[in-house]
């Protein structure tokens, strides 16, 4: 575990640390899933007319430059038909960002591309796109299912982009090129983590994972799959480490679970998922993760410490509950019926003794 960036000297499951590799000029920002899933978001900002059929309202400002033609952009988006408010696509739900090369986008995404080309990294906006720049007069009856002549509302977040003159898509890269591109982003993420730039680090890992999508991984076997997993899994684990620091525990659990689906005995994934679960108060599930991690790393101090903290937490809860119950019920009261019986027998004995004394005196 010499390749870790440690949060503390004893915490051996914080963050991978590898030699820094300089990557090509790029601009990035993390894409965080929207909280509201009830329909298109409302924006109060000024409407910007990008084209006769495309308008934009900014929900969250971005930073840096805007992507130029042939930039390779990574983005998350949700899409609704404007008339029916029917959501027909959601890349956040699929956990797979879209790759788009400006100027080489699909015809039905022309309006979306116009919007994206006006955005900065990290920007989230609402786009209104006329049907002419969407799915056209005929619509789409396969996937996605879009009615004819349907105007579209997009909620878009530009995660990041690469300034590549040739506009080379992932699908045109060799296996080695894709793994290499992902590895460079992982290295940049590690460097950002050291600088405590956690949001930026998460974004870099997310960009790396985008190169290692399911469609790509399913095609790999043997040494190439091992090479890809050696990049992909650390990105998920490092993302989880950042998310724990950012107190986004549910997301951290999801990242660890992805790794555990591939490697059920991964100690780092078990440890970090246990940490996130413990923070959410899921103590039984957290203990299960820590105990399983301890089986494969019995000497690890960080794991032992977390188990000790859970035990102390359970003890404190027990003592608190004990005090509550004690105050709630108090000492058991003596039944009133027993008191009346005792008093009755005392009176009866006293009466018999007085009668006995009177008879004896006569």
For the chain, which residues make up each domain, given as ranges? 26-162, 172-312, 337-362
How far is residue 122's CA from residue 116's CA, in Å, rounded to a whole number? 11
Output 45 or 165, whichever has higher pLDDT.
45
Region 165-192: what's the mean pLDDT?
A: 83
How far is residue 188's CA from residue 200's CA, in Å, rounded to a whole number? 9
Residues 52-98 pLDDT 10s? 999 999 999 987 889 988 888 989 999 999 999 999 999 988 777 88
CATH of domain 26-162: 3.10.50.40
Residues 324-357 pLDDT 10s? 766 565 555 555 555 667 777 777 778 777 777 7
| 202-234 residues labelled b (16+ CB within 10 A) or e (exposed) | bbbbbbbbbbbbeebeeebeeeeeebbbebbbb
Q: What does pTM read for this prediction?
A: 0.62
- The topology (CATH level 3) of 172-312 is 1.25.40
Whether the predicted pLDDT of 1 surpasses 70: no
How far is residue 172's CA from residue 154's CA, in Å, rounded to a whole number? 27
Burial class (CB in 10 A: 0-12, 13-18, 19+), 135: buried
């Amino acid at each position: 575990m010499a390749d870790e960036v440690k949060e503390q000297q004893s915490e051996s499951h914080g963050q991978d640390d590898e030699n820094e590799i300089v990557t090509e000029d790029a601009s990035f920002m993390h894409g965080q899933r929207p909280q509201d899933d009830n329909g298109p978001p409302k924006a109060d900002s000024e409407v910007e007319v990008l084209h006769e059929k495309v308008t934009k309202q900014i929900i969250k400002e971005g930073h840096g430059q805007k992507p130029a033609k042939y930039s390779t952009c990574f983005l998350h988006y949700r899409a609704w038909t404007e008339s029916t408010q029917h959501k027909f696509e959601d890349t956040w739900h699929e956990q797979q960002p879209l790759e788009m090369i400006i100027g080489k986008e699909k015809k039905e995404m022309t309006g979306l591309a116009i919007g994206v080309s006006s955005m900065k990294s990290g920007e989230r906006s609402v786009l209104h796109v006329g049907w002419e720049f969407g799915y056209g007069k005929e619509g789409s009856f396969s996937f996605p299912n879009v009615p004819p002549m349907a105007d579209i509302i997009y909620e878009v977040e530009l995660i990041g982009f690469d300034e590549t003159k040739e506009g080379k898509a992932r699908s045109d890269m060799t296996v080695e090129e894709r793994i290499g591109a992902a590895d460079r982003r992982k290295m940049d993420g590690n460097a950002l983590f050291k600088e405590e730039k956690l949001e930026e680090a998460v974004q870099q890992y997310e960009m790396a994972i985008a190169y290692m999508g399911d469609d790509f991984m399913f095609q790999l076997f043997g040494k190439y799959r091992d090479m890809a997993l050696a990049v992909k899994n650390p990105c998920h684990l490092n993302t989880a480490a950042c998310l724990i620091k950012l107190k986004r525990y549910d997301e951290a659990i999801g990242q660890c679970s992805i790794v555990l689906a591939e490697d059920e005995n991964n100690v780092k994934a078990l440890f970090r998922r246990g940490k996130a679960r413990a923070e959410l108060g899921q103590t039984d599930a957290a203990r299960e993760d820590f105990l399983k991690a301890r089986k494969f790393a019995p000497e690890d101090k960080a794991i032992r410490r977390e188990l000790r903290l859970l035990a102390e937490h359970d003890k404190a809860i027990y003592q608190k509950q004990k005090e509550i119950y004690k105050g709630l019920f108090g000492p058991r009261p003596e039944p009133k019926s027993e008191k009346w019986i005792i008093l009755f027998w005392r009176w009866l004995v006293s009466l018999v003794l007085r009668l006995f004394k009177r008879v004896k005196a006569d």
